[in-house]
């Protein structure tokens, strides 16, 4: 049975410029110990869909659909029930650790607070457990680090503190929103190794929200590709990279710079046009205006998700891994 | 051979800390003795992580910062100590595009005025002629010329970066300094800007100093590569030399940490994990600045604690490495074989 499950979750925002459909009937499920990557470009709804699960959205957001954790309904849950899950059974790490840590509290105080509040530990217990956690996430000399403030730590160390805090209550699910985007390459590699280690040793399932297909290739088991609020493709990681089916995924992979061997640079795939901001979900493929394969049907009918290859879902009337026609422009 | 477009010799940029920060007399060594040249029409990639000093190098060349020491020559002319007015005619020769197209354009200037400004200030074009040249520039960077009358806030990030490029290239500079020009953009937009840069560079033939942290872009776009660590060059060579046979332990670690969008490749290779944090540029380690994190540090003791390693040509082919373990005819050992991946390390605790 799935540990965390989204069924047809939609999120609408009321903005000064009118309503925006940020997420449109997205479903995915996360099994125990699994790493699920939700990938897409800015504004595709990847973060909003994950944050909606635990209702960490501004009041202007209207969420519908169903989110279940361990069989329990989250969207309809009372605040008190939700608080018992949020931060305890489902915890979070964010892109910029400096803005999510309290600059006025020592590392020890911040982690200790989680332990005392959620698990009712005494001061001494919390201190011991904090040291254990810092050691677990690979922070050298934890005895010294507990007394330090966030500004005294490097970016990589701060992210490790965030992870230690997220793991404090031994959560079943960790939602990691661009956890390595603000970090240098060599530091990023260490954090990904740590997340892998956490999954293997503690069995924590991870939802990884990212725009970086390299990070996806490194750590994900399964991948959900989002575009303009909808899930357009889902497959196990090896399958997705070897046989991408949705023209958006195909284009995105070809857009990545790769080594040019000798004879000049290979042209990168451009995806002309921009991601639409949608007041209403259209009865059509949202990618059609930018798609080389779009036809009248794509423009008048919404492509349903279908299984085009084993365990590989695509929402497209013309799936296939062929590259885009050369020099195509919308 | 003609003069290089850009020649930087022993560039140093030290920032003294003020006493109020409690460390009077302390100095941040942002750039510490950097030398290189960029040939006409060449694309040189300057890579490094935060704190490597790569952007400071670019800012010194543009004279946005006054370098502490060293010389900068543009087409053979020493520009290191020129005054603002002496520098003005030379501003035509070098232009810069920045990472953030949101903050590098004047929000109160129309896009057309922004693109036309360098032409106007250098007295190259005015009136109807200026109008026409600006419209041509819009077309050249793939923007609808109607956008001339709009303002930057009405454009997407990719469009703004095109404005930045049009503005920089309007005066046909010999050198373009691009500081992380695509880092703030989504992948699909980044691809379009890189294609555009490739085309423009091919058509206009400018030399380019491309400053970035992204190794895949360097490998894709640059002819030659400089790798920096803590204000110094640790390795330099052609793209092939750096990517096919990286020598310096830092370069090896950096390349092994870069993400490849291919799960088989990405999971099949061994990652070299660096221990510890970047040392403070205020108290640079004596000797080799990388020794505090170097997996091979013990092999070069005590020399690595005493001497700053010089850039040496190992194979006599222009591939330079600043490591005590590299000397003529002897390469630095490959790291992958002897360093255990960090997962074992953590799990073994």
pLDDT digits (tens, 9 = 90+) for B164-217: 999 999 999 999 999 999 988 899 899 999 999 999 999 999 999 999 999 999
pLDDT band at A134 (very low <50, low <70, confident <90, very high): very high
Percentage above 90 pLDDT, chain A = 73
Domain that holds residue B251: 246-347
Task: State whether residue B290 is helix, strand or coil.
Answer: coil
Q: Does A197 sit within 8 Å of B347, measured CB to CB?
A: yes
Residue length of chain B = 349
B217-255 pLDDT tens trace? 999 999 999 999 999 999 999 999 999 999 999 999 999
Its pTM stands at 0.91
Task: State whether residue B277 is helix, strand or coil.
Answer: coil
Return all residues near A164 (Cβ < 8 A) that are at least 6 apart.
A111, A130, A133, A134, A136, A137, A139
CA-based nearest residue to A187, from B248, B273, B259: B273
Report if residue B185 sits inside a domain: no
A96-119 pLDDT tens trace? 777 888 999 999 999 999 999 889
Report if residue B318 sits inside a domain: yes
Report if residue B190 sits inside a domain: no
Determine contact, residues B98/B164, Cβ cutoff 8 Å. Answer: yes
CA A193 – CA A185 distance, rounded (Å): 12
Instruction: State the pLDDT at residue A273.
Output: 84
Instruction: State the pLDDT at residue B343.
Output: 39
Percentage above 70 pLDDT, chain A = 98
Determine contact, residues A256/A244, Cβ cutoff 8 Å. Answer: no
Determine contact, residues B235/B321, Cβ cutoff 8 Å. Answer: yes
Task: Kindly tell me if the per-residue pLDDT of B338 is higher than 50.
Answer: no
Q: Choose the closest CB to B257 out of A140, A186, A216.
A: A186
Return all residues near B124 (Cβ < 8 A) that are at least 6 apart.
B171
CA B314 – CA B331 distance, rounded (Å): 6
Report if residue B306 sits inside a domain: yes
Q: Is A156 on the interface with B (CB under 8 A)?
A: yes
Average pLDDT over residues A209-234: 97
Instruction: State the pLDDT at residue B349.
Output: 30
CA angle A273, A235, A91 (to 5 degrees): 90
CA B60 – CA B43 distance, rounded (Å): 18
Residue A80: exposed, middle, or buried by beta-carbon count in 10 A (0-12, 13-18, 19+)? exposed
Q: Does B188 sit within 8 Å of A270, measured CB to CB?
A: yes
CA B308 – CA B305 distance, rounded (Å): 8
Report if residue B302 sits inside a domain: yes
Chain A: give the shortest CA distance to residue B345, in Å: 9
CA B79 – CA B72 distance, rounded (Å): 6
A113-133 pLDDT tens trace? 999 988 999 999 999 999 999
B83-138 pLDDT tens trace? 999 999 898 999 999 887 778 899 999 999 999 999 999 999 999 999 999 999 99
List the single residue in B with minimal CA-CA distance to A215: B259
Q: Does B254 sit within 8 Å of A186, measured CB to CB?
A: yes
C-alpha dihedral (B109, B114, B118, B121), degrees to nearest 10: -20
Does ipTM top 0.85? Answer: yes
Return all residues near B309 (Cβ < 8 A) that are at least 6 apart.
B287, B288, B322, B323, B324, B326
Instruction: State the pLDDT at residue B345.
Output: 35
pLDDT band at B337 (very low <50, low <70, confident <90, very high): low
CA A68 – CA A5 distance, rounded (Å): 5
CA A184 – CA B212 distance, rounded (Å): 11
A17-72 pLDDT tens trace? 889 999 999 999 999 999 999 999 988 999 999 999 888 888 899 999 999 999 99
B47-90 pLDDT tens trace? 999 889 999 999 999 999 999 999 999 999 999 999 999 999 89
Helices (H), chain B: 54-61, 84-87, 111-121, 127-140, 157-169, 187-204, 215-221, 239-244, 249-257, 263-268, 303-306, 342-347
The single-letter DSSP state of residue B153 is G
A282-314 pLDDT tens trace? 999 999 999 999 999 999 999 999 999 999 999
Task: Kindly tell me if the per-residue pLDDT of A262 is higher than 80.
Answer: no
Q: Is A197 on the interface with B (CB under 8 A)?
A: yes
Beta-bridge mates of residue B12: B32, B69
A vs B: CB pairs below 8 A: 134
CA B216 – CA B21 distance, rounded (Å): 39
List the single residue in B with minimal CA-CA distance to A194: B343
Task: Kindly tell me if the per-residue pLDDT of B274 is higher than 90.
Answer: no
Lowest-pLDDT range of A181-185, A315-319, B94-98: A181-185
Determine contact, residues A202/A195, Cβ cutoff 8 Å. Answer: no
Task: Kindly tell me if the per-residue pLDDT of A325 is higher than 50.
Answer: yes
**Residue B302 preceded by cis peptide, ω within 30:** yes
Instruction: State the pLDDT at residue A84.
Output: 86
Average pLDDT over residues A218-232: 97
Instruction: State the pLDDT at residue A109.
Output: 94
pLDDT band at A259 (very low <50, low <70, confident <90, very high): low
Determine contact, residues A161/A193, Cβ cutoff 8 Å. Answer: no
Task: Kindly tell me if the per-residue pLDDT of B331 is higher than 90.
Answer: no
Chain A: give the shortest CA distance to residue B128, in Å: 31
Determine contact, residues B187/A256, Cβ cutoff 8 Å. Answer: yes
Report if residue B294 sits inside a domain: yes
Percentage above 70 pLDDT, chain B = 94
Instruction: State the pLDDT at residue A265.
Output: 64
Q: Does B261 sit within 8 Å of A256, measured CB to CB?
A: yes
Return all residues near A120 (Cβ < 8 A) that are at least 6 apart.
none
Most confident among A38-52, A252-266, B330-344 (mean pLDDT): A38-52
Determine contact, residues A185/A224, Cβ cutoff 8 Å. Answer: no
Which pair of structure tokens corresponds to residue A183?
Answer: 């970090």
Total tally of structural domains belonging to chain B: 1
Instruction: State the pLDDT at residue A7.
Output: 96
Average pLDDT over residues B20-40: 86
Count of CA atoms in the C-beta half-sphere (13 A) of B236: 17
Determine contact, residues B101/B184, Cβ cutoff 8 Å. Answer: yes
A223 alpha-carbon distance from chain centroid: 10
Q: Does A271 sit within 8 Å of B190, measured CB to CB?
A: no
Determine contact, residues A105/A149, Cβ cutoff 8 Å. Answer: yes
Report if residue B213 sits inside a domain: no
Which pair of structure tokens corresponds to residue A136?
Answer: 């677990």
Report if residue B21 sits inside a domain: no
Note which residues in 261-290 of chain A have CB less than 8 A from chain B: 265, 267-272, 274
Instruction: State the pLDDT at residue B24.
Output: 65
Beta-bridge mates of residue A35: A206
pLDDT band at B348 (very low <50, low <70, confident <90, very high): very low
Average pLDDT over residues B12-30: 80
Instruction: State the pLDDT at residue B347.
Output: 34
A7-30 pLDDT tens trace? 999 999 998 888 999 999 999 999
Q: Choose the closest CB to A193 out of B187, B219, B342.
A: B342
Instruction: State the pLDDT at residue A330.
Output: 63
B111-121 helix and B127-140 helix, angle to the nearest 10 degrees: 120
Task: Kindly tell me if the per-residue pLDDT of B341 is higher than 70.
Answer: no
Determine contact, residues A60/A13, Cβ cutoff 8 Å. Answer: yes
Partners of residue B343 in chain A, C-beta under 8 Å: 193, 196-197
Instruction: State the pLDDT at residue A199.
Output: 95
Mutate to test the interface with A, among B248, B261, B290, B345 (most CBs of A within 10 A): B261
């Amino acid at each position: 049975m799935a540990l965390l499950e989204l069924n047809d979750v939609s999120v609408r925002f009321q903005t000064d410029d009118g309503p925006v459909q940020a997420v449109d009937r997205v479903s995915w499920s996360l099994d125990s110990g699994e790493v699920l990557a939700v990938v897409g470009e800015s504004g595709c709804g990847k973060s909003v869909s994950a944050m909606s699960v635990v209702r960490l959205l501004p009041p202007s957001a209207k969420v519908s659909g169903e989110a279940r954790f361990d069989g329990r309904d989250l969207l309809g849950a009372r605040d008190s029930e939700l608080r018992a899950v949020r931060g305890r059974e489902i915890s979070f790490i964010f892109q910029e650790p400096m803005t999510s840590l309290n600059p006025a509290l020592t590392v020890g105080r911040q982690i200790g607070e989680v332990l005392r509040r959620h698990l009712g530990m005494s001061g001494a217990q919390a201190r011991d457990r904090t040291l254990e956690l810092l050691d677990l996430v690979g922070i050298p000399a934890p005895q010294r680090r507990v007394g330090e403030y966030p500004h005294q730590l490097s970016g990589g160390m701060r992210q490790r503190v965030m992870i230690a805090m997220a793991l404090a209550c031994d959560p079943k699910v960790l939602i990691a929103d661009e956890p390595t985007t603000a970090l240098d390459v060599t530091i990023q590699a260490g954090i990904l190794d740590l997340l892998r280690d956490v999954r293997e040793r503690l069995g924590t399932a991870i939802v990884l929200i990212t725009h970086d297909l390299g990070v996806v290739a490194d750590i994900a088991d399964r991948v959900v590709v989002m575009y303009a609020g909808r899930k357009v493709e889902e497959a196990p990681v090896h399958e997705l990279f070897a046989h991408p089916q949705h023209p958006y995924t195909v284009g995105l992979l070809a857009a990545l710079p790769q080594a040019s061997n000798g004879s000049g640079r290979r042209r990168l795939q451009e995806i002309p046009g921009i991601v639409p901001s949608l007041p209403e979900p259209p009865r059509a493929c949202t990618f059609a205006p930018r798609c080389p394969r779009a036809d009248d049907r794509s423009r008048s009918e919404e492509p349903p998700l279908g299984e085009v290859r084993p365990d590989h879902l695509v929402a497209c009337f013309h799936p296939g891994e062929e590259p885009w026609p050369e020099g195509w422009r919308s | 051979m003609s003069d290089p477009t850009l020649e930087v010799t022993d560039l140093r940029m030290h920032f003294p800390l003020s006493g109020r920060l409690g460390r009077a007399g302390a100095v941040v060594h942002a750039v510490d003795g950097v030398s290189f040249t960029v040939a006409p029409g060449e694309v040189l990639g300057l890579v490094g992580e935060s704190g490597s000093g790569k952007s400071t190098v670019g800012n010194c060349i543009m004279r946005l910062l006054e370098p502490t020491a060293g010389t900068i020559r543009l087409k053979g002319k020493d520009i290191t100590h020129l005054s603002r007015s002496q520098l003005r005619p030379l501003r035509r020769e070098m232009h810069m595009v920045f990472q953030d197209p949101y903050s590098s354009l004047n929000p109160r200037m129309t896009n057309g005025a922004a693109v036309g400004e360098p032409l106007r200030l250098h007295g190259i074009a005015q009136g109807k002629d200026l109008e026409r040249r600006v419209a041509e520039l819009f077309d050249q960077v793939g923007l609808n010329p109607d956008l001339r009358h709009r303002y930057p806030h009405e454009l997407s990030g990719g469009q703004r970066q095109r404005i930045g490029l049009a503005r920089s290239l309007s005066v046909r500079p010999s050198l373009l300094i691009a500081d992380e020009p695509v880092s703030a953009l989504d992948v699909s937009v980044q691809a379009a800007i890189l294609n555009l840069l490739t085309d423009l560079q091919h058509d206009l033939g400018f030399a380019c100093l491309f400053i970035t942290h992204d190794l895949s872009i360097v490998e894709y776009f640059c002819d030659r590569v400089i790798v920096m660590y803590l204000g110094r060059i640790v390795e330099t060579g052609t793209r092939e030399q750096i990517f096919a046979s990286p020598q310096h332990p830092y370069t090896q670690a950096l390349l092994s940490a870069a993400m490849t969008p291919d799960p088989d490749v990405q999971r099949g290779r061994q990652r070299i994990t660096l221990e510890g944090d970047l040392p403070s540029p205020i108290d640079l380690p004596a000797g080799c600045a990388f020794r505090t994190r170097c997996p091979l540090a013990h092999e070069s003791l005590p020399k690595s604690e005493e001497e700053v390693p010089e850039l040496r040509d190992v194979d006599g082919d222009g591939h330079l490495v600043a490591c005590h373990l590299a000397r003529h005819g002897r390469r630095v050992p490959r790291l992958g074989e002897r360093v255990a991946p960090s997962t074992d390390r953590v799990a073994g605790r």
